[in-house]
Amino acid sequence: MYKKNIANIAIIKISLTFISLTLLVLVSLLVSLYPAHATEADFYLTKLEPESVISGETYALNITLKNLGTSYATYLKSELDPEDVSPIDPVGSLKKYIGTIKEADSSLGYFGVVRQYDEINISYIIRVKENAQEGSYQVPLVLKWVGITGEKQETLLFGIDIKTVKPGVEVEKDSPEFVQPGEEFNISLTIKNTGSRQIKDISVSTETENPFAVKSSNSLFIPILRPGEERDVIFKFLSDKDADVGLYDVRFPIEYRDKSDAVFKKTEAAGIVIKGKAQLDIADLKIEPQNPKKGDEITIELRIENVGDDDAVNTKLTLESDLEGFKTAYLGELKKGDDTPAIFTLRSERTGEIANKLILTYEDDFGKHTSLEEIRFDISNNQSQDMGKIFILLLAAGVFVIYFTAKKRKG
């Protein structure tokens, strides 16, 4: 019995020795597989799409990583900008093991085993902050995994360019070619959103100085304009009746906001031309002598006054008459409110009623103008007037003779 127990004990010892040797061989194999100089997994970013984004927009961010270390990683998970140090915000992503899908927090993605030289693709839905300034940003991607020696963590930085795009607003203006002093007129503005974003709280105002007054509201409001939409606003004006002719600017400050309440401003201007009409009238007319006789030199003197809104140029007076004499007067420029004399001299070569036609021509911004006036006067016969004087003298002498004879008879 005792010998049998000794044999069992020997068998047990031999078994333990065999197990120990087997474990030693396995450990040796593991050491041979992972030598002392072996490192952990080491990840590098090999591809990024997109590399450029626009503030306020949403994108699918695709990141490709490659394990260039000498070991594997398990239970790999990624976290995009966990401290929110960049203008990039993850708004949703798929969290994965290799071959499976598992839900997790919004900015975390899980993966299975990643061997040496393996590539993995990570996709995030991101939104760029509305108020992000234009420039290049370093965005952190935190990787956590379990390696040979336990839990590991690595932070990769990738660069992304952010561009800011101002909302596109175009303004088309419709205004009259010209207006006259004292005239009412409209200026219409078409506000169009030519950008890719909605704009809101659009305020269109007008800034005017003399010679214009606003007859409508001086500020009009558009609540919202979506991309491609347009809206008309109309302002009513009155020009001063004493306005000088010329070109004037009417300014329209425009202010609007985008969805992030960022404020944008621009100013449009419309050029308004004021054109006035010259109006020439005869202010005074004199004919000397008042009772001309045949053979007299007749003087016709008159004054021309510009009572219009503009200057007259190339002003000319022509007297059409059957009588000979100086019958043309060139006055040239006659400014608004001014007057000037014109004199004609005629030689009366015949008697009777003389009809004369006065032709006035001048030019202003509206072109050439012509007006006609008729001047009539009578020329008496010089001889008939002398005979009248002789008859009066003879009559006076006859009266004197009769008076003297009667007085003598009484004496």
Q: What is the residue-wise DSSP string for 152-166?
A: EEEEEEEEEEEE--P
pLDDT at 17: 61
**Are the C-beta atoms of 41 and 68 separated by less than 8 Å?**
no
Query: How many structural domains comprise the chain?
Result: 3
Closest CA to 366 of 186, 178, 175: 178
Mean pLDDT of 100-118: 59
Per 3-state DSSP, the chain is made up of helix, strand and coil in percentages (nearest 5) of 15, 55, 30
Domain of 146 in residue numbering reads as 43-163
206 and 299 in a single domain? The answer is no
Res. 238: pLDDT tops 90: yes
Domain boundary among 134, 163, 192: 163
For range 393-407, the mean pLDDT: 42
Domain end among 163, 192, 217: 163
**Average pLDDT estimate for 110-132:** 82
319 contact partners, CB below 8 Å, separation of at least 6 = 300, 327, 328, 344, 346, 356, 357, 358, 359, 375
Rounded distance, CA 396 to CA 343, Å? 42
**pLDDT (mean) for 237-245:** 89
* Averaged pLDDT score across all residues of the chain: 79
- What are the residues facing 48 on neighbouring strands? 63
C-alpha torsion sign, points 88, 89, 92, 94: positive
Q: Note whether residue 131 is domain-resident.
A: yes
Q: Are residues 146 and 179 in the same domain?
A: no
Dihedral angle over CA of 237, 242, 248, 250, nearest 10 = -20
Question: In sequence order, what are the beta bridge partners of 192?
Answer: 170, 230
pLDDT at 382: 65
Residue 266: inside a domain: yes
Query: In terms of domains, do 65 and 159 share one?
Result: yes
Residue where a domain stops, chosen among 114, 129, 163: 163
**What is d(CA 252, CA 233) in angstroms, rounded to the nearest whole number?**
11
Residues 60 and 153 in one domain: yes
In the predicted structure, residue 69 carries a pLDDT above the cut 60: yes
- The whole-number pLDDT of residue 47 equals 92
pLDDT, tens digit, 9 for 90 and up, residues 341-391: 999 998 888 888 888 898 999 998 888 999 888 888 888 876 544 444 433
Q: From the centroid of its chain, how far is CA 235?
A: 16
301-330: pLDDT as tens digits:
989 998 888 888 999 999 888 888 888 889
Check: pTM over 0.75? Answer yes or no: no
d(CA 254, CA 250): 13
Specify the amino acid at residue 160. I
294 contacts: CB under 8 Å, gap ≥ 6: 348, 349, 350, 351, 379, 380, 381, 382
The reply to whether 135 and 181 lie within a common domain is: no
| Exposure b/e, 102-121, CB count within 10 A at least 16 = b | eeeeebbbbbeebeeebebe
Averaged pLDDT, 388-396: 40
- Does a structural domain hold residue 406? no
Q: For residues 276 and 365, what is the distance between their CA atoms, to the nearest angstrom?
A: 7
CATH assignment at residue 256: 2.60.40.10
